[in-house]
Chains A and B, each alone.
Chain A
């Protein structure tokens, strides 16, 4: 249980915590300014993290509650 609590904070730190450092236009990545790329990347990572949480969460092993 504990690890999935920590996992749910990770996207907040990744996006909001790092924002002062990544608020820049260059370098362009995948055609996007760096800050926009960073946020797009973290949106994808948020999905990945939620997927891991779902797998680790014992409540999802049971049938429909």
Chain B
């Protein structure tokens, strides 16, 4: 009985690799093809590529896990993604246009070009790579959970993780972003079907409908379906959503998928349908809610098992295989995008500035060889990371948000912020994030006398404020200094 589930997962795995190889047939895979698909993708592929990064194993397992473990606060995932599309309407066409005009390949290139500073580019690239690794770790861990659960324990977690990392590496080295885009097509069809079905069927099957399910939870755990008065409260929700919206498009792999588009209009058009598509997450939450009273007792990191556990209790192995196959693809698409962006950043924006003589071809080669290196580092943290995983992920998000001020100012017609200000701002923001993460500070611990609503604000706001202030002040000081220097020279 265990074999039918595993067999179906295996079929999906082979299908994904087959698609990856087919997608590059007849294409000369230089760096531009490999990392931004030759800038020729239309609405549909860009849409799926960007959705592919949003519906990761984190939203699949983690979204239902949050609904299961924390209740109403889980909705923040749905809201920050929907609201991010409003930002995308304005932001992405501008980024795309600038990238196209200047032939940019990576996120770091954008900052290099705007601020005329390769070393700012090195900083941005390193921040990106550091933030990316925890997200790869989460994909690998998710992959491990899915394969080991769906194989009914036959394949252990570590073996599943190694298998995942190796196939991911080969996949990325061969196919680049084209493989990700084509795999995203079957992945999203699978996800919509599987999640839609689970989200409707499970509440019906176990409770007789949505409302009876929520009423049962409301009776068993009063207060669970509301944002609490303290902790994950209304002010936590609002501040977290705003921070995540600002950080949403700062990820290097998101920049890569923006660059793949063949026109800027693609993003404005995609923005319309995207919030509706995000509504799929509602069904993910329904699964998590349905599991609360049916598979009780999962705690800590185990809440992420809620979706798979309730499915295993409910369905035949072949259907578990389908869920596992969908889950495998949700790890593969973003995982490959992340690996590729990380490798491109290291080769093009960290190595190249120090070895200016390197040719485009050798940079492309180096990027490919860096893929297994990043994969190995990620496997190490996946197997040894333990509890620090959640901390690392949150730190990753906070780190990426630190690029927002420099990006925002770069769009101003008369940008007074210079490379010194941008660099100092980013460094101070990052240092604050590191301090906050390591000391496990909250606004409540830093400022104990504040009212509760202020204490619950997301602590990332402090790092962002410091970043903004330092960026502005340093820019103004340097400008004043250089103008008076020039005057004196005359």
Residues of A within 8 A of B (CB): 8, 11-12, 15-16, 19-20, 23-25, 28, 30-33, 35-36, 39-40, 42-44, 46-47, 49-51, 53-54, 57, 59-60, 64-65
Contact = CB atoms under 8 A, between A and B. Distances in A.
A32 B214 contact: yes
Residues of B contacting A: mostly: helix
Given A31-B210, A36-B75, A47 B275 contact: yes
Contacts of A30: 210
A60 B209 CA distance: 43
Given A11-B86, A35-B227, 6 more contacts: A15-B82, A16-B242, A23-B72, A42-B82, A47-B276, A64-B264
A27 to B, nearest CB: 10
Contacts of B215: 28
B86 A46 contact: yes
Contacts of A51: 272
Contact of B238 (A8, A19, A35, A46): A19
A47 B273 contact: yes
Contact of A33 (B93, B218, B241): B218
Contact of B218 (A11, A19, A25, A59): A25
A35 B225 contact: yes
A48 B262 CA distance: 25
Contact of B214 (A23, A28, A46): A28
A12 B86 CA distance: 9
A36 B268 CA distance: 27
A25 B271 contact: no
B352 interface: no
Contact of B234 (A20, A28, A33, A40): A20
B90 interface: yes
A57 B265 CA distance: 11
B234 A23 contact: yes
Nearest to A21: B234
Contact of B225 (A11, A12, A36, A60): A36
Interface of B: 72, 75, 78-79, 82-83, 85-86, 89-90, 93, 97, 209-211, 214-215, 218, 225-227, 234, 237-238, 241-242, 262-265, 268-269, 271-276, 278-279, 282, 285
A65 B85 contact: no
B109 to A, nearest CB: 21
Contacts of A49: 86
B274 to A, nearest CB: 8
Contacts of A44: 275-276, 279
A64 B46 CA distance: 15
Nearest to B97: A65
23 contacts: A15-B83, A16-B79, A16-B83, A19-B238, A23-B72, A25-B214, A28-B215, A32-B211, A35-B75, A36-B225, A39-B75, A40-B78, A43-B82, A43-B275, A46-B86, A47-B276, A54-B268, A54-B269, A59-B265, A60-B268, A64-B262, A64-B264, A64-B265
A28 B211 contact: yes
B71 to A, nearest CB: 10
B121 to A, nearest CB: 27
Nearest to A31: B210
B258 to A, nearest CB: 15
A43 B278 contact: yes
A9 B82 CA distance: 13
B293 to A, nearest CB: 15
Contacts of B86: 8, 11-12, 46, 49-50
Contacts of B79: 15-16, 39, 43
Contacts of B227: 19, 23, 35
A16 B234 CA distance: 9
A14 to B, nearest CB: 10
A64 B225 contact: no
Contacts of B278: 43
B89 A50 contact: yes
B78 A43 contact: yes
Contacts of B273: 47
Contacts of B93: 65
Nearest to A7: B86
* 3 cross-chain pairs, A with B, having the tightest CB-CB distances, nearest first: A31-B210, A64-B263, A31-B211
Contacts of B90: 8
A53 B89 contact: yes
Contact of A12 (B83, B262, B276, B285): B83
Given A33-B72, A65-B263, A25 B225 contact: yes
A4 to B, nearest CB: 9
A42 B271 CA distance: 15
B93 to A, nearest CB: 8
